[in-house]
Amino acid sequence: MSDTATTTGRAPSVYVPSAEALATVLAPGERPPRPSALGASLTFGWRALLKIKHVPEQLFDVTAFPIIMVLMFTYLFGGALADSPRDYLQFFLPGIMVTSVVMITMYTGVGLNTDIEKGIFDRFRTLPVWRPAALVGMIFGDVLRYVLAAVVILSVGLVLGFRPDGGLLGVAAGIGLLVVFSFAFSWVWTFFGLVLRSEKSVMGVSMMVLFPLTFLSNVFVDPSTMPGWLQAFVKLNPITHLVAAVRAAMGGSSDPTNTMWLLLWSAGFVVVFGTLTMYRYNRR
Amino acid sequence: MSKRTTGLAIEAEGLTRSFGETRALAGMDLQVPAGTVYGLLGPNGAGKTTAVRVLATLLRPDGGRARVFGHDVVAEADKVRSRVSLTGQYASIDEDLTGIENLVLLGRLLGLRKAAARERADQLLTAFGLTEAGTRQVKKYSGGMRRRIDIAASILNTPDLLFLDEPTTGLDPRSRNQVWEIVRAVVAHGTTVLLTTQYLDEADQLAGRIAVVDHGRVIAEGTPGELKSSVGSGTVHLRLRDAAQRPDAEKVLQAALGVPVQLEADPLALTARVGGEGSDLAASEQAARALADLSRAGIVVDDFSLGQPSLDEVFLALTDHPAVPADERDEQLEAAR
């Protein structure tokens, strides 16, 4: 960015508080009606967009990281698990898309933790707006990042030879399901972002949750080769339902059972972790 | 306006709040009249910030109750929030955003439409001398500018009660004076200000009443004049030319001032409080007489000064312990947050 160090560049004229100028801004005007829940959430979402605009580096994790994931695993496992990386990709791409995006959800917690550390949330929490708006808006911003990551992965996949039978509509439906789940799952991280003391501990916890959740699933291999106890976990794992539903959508069919489970899990995450988050948010 | 400036802005009774082992608030009572600047004076870790956080609905008290304009800070938090604003000790604005963006964001959250929020932002930037800086990210602001944008954000909704938590800590003298001017303008327009500070002179300059806070409770309360006269309105510092004359000087001073004289570690130096209760003379008058007596007694004074009692002296007088070494406790508190 070119606008660094402008503070010292110019000789600023000395500010002298003028009673008249202050009087104009201090005159008590009409108090506007408080914004609606959605309006306030969207305004906080706008803040997230502004942050992306000013700190574009933060998009690194939704672009470079997914690309590395796709390339790495396609060529690492492709030959061994299928006839060729290209064949493996047809099975694997929806799964790695889910893995990457779900892993990115943890940044919601990291971001929240940083915001709280800096003190800005003190101001938000003294505003007379719908209480969850600051967090909902933050996750709105994150949803944009999820879509971006999904599109990046899809593009890399298409270049490498991924050919979804579901066409544009199927792919869009798959990404839609993924985004719904990720929105819901983000509430897990808002909770940890509020409870844990530092950014580092949020990262630590998220790795402990995300690695088993994404790897012990149907993302990389067909679960039928796993021992029974592991299959039981894999079957329960919401990521498994999500991957199955996304795979079906992108493959041009549908999987109502898994879609239903995935939506139930999503609702569960919002209800349980949304409630816990708001409890912590209000009681800090 | 009259509605905003009558009655009590804050009433708190027996507020308590602990963080683990540390009792940040140990039964704090406060009555803050509306339309004034009220100073909470105390060292780091005395509980000032915790009190502000409870009153601004950011923290629930463990016990006791507090009302802001008659609304309970726990049960009616939303009603309280619609009338207060907080400028915290740490930046309560988004450093990644520009000044304009911060103000527009808050304007929108307070219910202004886009154009109105933008107009309000421009007005505020002008009034706070930040027009040019408006399009820069706040992290590139100087300390004084940052404080100003923070306060500008706090008065965006012309609150009835403004919390300023150590607004001048870490600022250079010029920026500090600017903040003082702003606070005066804010209160002149009917907003009540609760100001926390570690500096007696700041409370003295701005506050109509002061509560001295220590270990989570109010240990003295009154107008700046009342507080100072309870401690002595000033302190005389003397340095003699000859250390051998110090015992004589002590006797002369004691006789002239009628107060105990303190012998400093420096063998040439003495200090004494003047202008305390029971003295019908002004501090300067007393000091002048004492000087005259010394000179008559043939004691040579090389250096003389008459100053306001420092926060440390106020504390010593009120608590028998100095104000400073609470830092460790403060760190504990920080960690507990």
Binary contact (A35, B60; C-beta < 8 A): no
Same-domain check for residues B89 and B163: yes
Same-domain check for residues B254 and B291: yes
CA B13, CA B28: separation in Å to the nearest integer? 6
**Domain harbouring B160, CATH code:** 3.40.50.300
Most distant CA pair in chain B, distance: 76
Whether the per-residue pLDDT at B331 is higher than 60: the answer is no
Same-domain check for residues B125 and B268: no
pLDDT recorded at residue B264: 82
Its domain, for residue B265, covers 234-307
Do the domain assignments include residue B145? yes
Same-domain check for residues B249 and B140: no
Do the domain assignments include residue B275? yes
Same-domain check for residues B206 and B64: yes
Whether the per-residue pLDDT at B337 is higher than 50: the answer is no
- Give the count of domains, chain B: 2
Interface of A with B in 18-47 (CB under 8 A): 18-19, 21-29, 31-35, 39-40, 43-44, 46-47
Binary contact (A119, B91; C-beta < 8 A): yes
CA A260, CA A244: separation in Å to the nearest integer? 11
Do the domain assignments include residue B334? no
Most distant CA pair in chain A, distance: 79
Which H or E run contains B195?
A: strand B192-197
Closest Cα to residue B210, out of B228, B197, B223, B201?
Answer: B223
Do the domain assignments include residue B318? no
Question: pLDDT tens digits for B184-208?
Answer: 999 998 899 999 998 888 888 899 9
Closest Cα to residue A116, out of A196, A201, A206?
Answer: A196
Do the domain assignments include residue B319? no
Same-domain check for residues B92 and B181: yes
DSSP string across B53-84: HHHTTSS--SEEEEEETTEETTTTHHHHHTTE
CA distances from B228 to A187, B199, B204, B310 (A): 53, 13, 9, 10
Cβ B305 vs Cβ B290: under 8 Å: no
Do the domain assignments include residue B324? no
Shortest distance, CA A124 to any CA of chain B (angstroms) = 9
Whether the per-residue pLDDT at B37 is higher than 50: the answer is yes
Same-domain check for residues B224 and B238: no
Question: pLDDT tens digits for A9-53?
Answer: 444 567 888 777 888 888 767 778 889 999 999 999 999 999 999
Comparing B331 with A147, the larger pLDDT belongs to A147
Cβ B323 vs Cβ B311: under 8 Å: yes
CA B27, CA B197: separation in Å to the nearest integer? 20
Closest Cα to residue B313, out of B284, B281, B273?
Answer: B273
Do the domain assignments include residue B270? yes
* DSSP single-letter state for residue A163: -
Ramachandran angles phi, psi of B250, nearest 5°: -60, -45
Percent of chain B with pLDDT over 90: 59
What mean pLDDT value characterizes chain A?
A: 87
CA B185, CA A260: separation in Å to the nearest integer? 60
Distance of CA A154 to the CA centre of its chain: 17
Question: pLDDT tens digits for B127-179?
Answer: 999 999 999 999 999 989 999 999 999 999 889 999 999 999 888 999 999 99
Same-domain check for residues B146 and B274: no
pLDDT recorded at residue A163: 92
Same-domain check for residues B223 and B284: no
Dig out the tokens for A177 from the structure.
Answer: 């399901």
Question: pLDDT tens digits for A68-126?
Answer: 888 888 888 877 777 788 888 888 899 999 999 999 898 888 888 888 888 888 889 88
* DSSP single-letter state for residue A30: P
Strands B301-307 and B234-240: what pairing? antiparallel
Which of B198, B228, B258 is the endpoint of a domain? B228
Write down the pTM of the prediction: 0.81
Dig out the tokens for B110 from the structure.
Answer: 């307070």
Q: By CA distance, what is B57's nearest residue in A?
A: A126
Interface of A with B in 132-161 (CB under 8 A): 133
For residue B78, which residues of chain A lie inside 8 Å, CB to CB? 128
Do the domain assignments include residue B111? yes
CA B84, CA B4: separation in Å to the nearest integer? 12
* DSSP single-letter state for residue B216: T
Question: What sign results for the dihedral spanned by CA atoms A268, A272, A277, A278?
Answer: positive
Same-domain check for residues B134 and B274: no
For residue B94, which residues of chain A lie inside 8 Å, CB to CB? 47, 51, 120
Q: By CA distance, what is A133's nearest residue in B?
A: B109
Check if A228 contacts B (Cβ < 8 Å). Answer: no
Same-domain check for residues B192 and B269: no
Same-domain check for residues B65 and B192: yes
**Domain harbouring B300, CATH code:** 3.30.70.2470
Ramachandran angles phi, psi of B304, nearest 5°: -145, 140
Length of chain A: 284
Which of B83, B96, B114, B119 should be substituted to probe chain A, the one whose Cβ sees the most A Cβ atoms within 10 Å? B96
Closest Cα to residue B24, out of B183, B216, B210?
Answer: B216
Shortest distance, CA A185 to any CA of chain B (angstroms) = 26
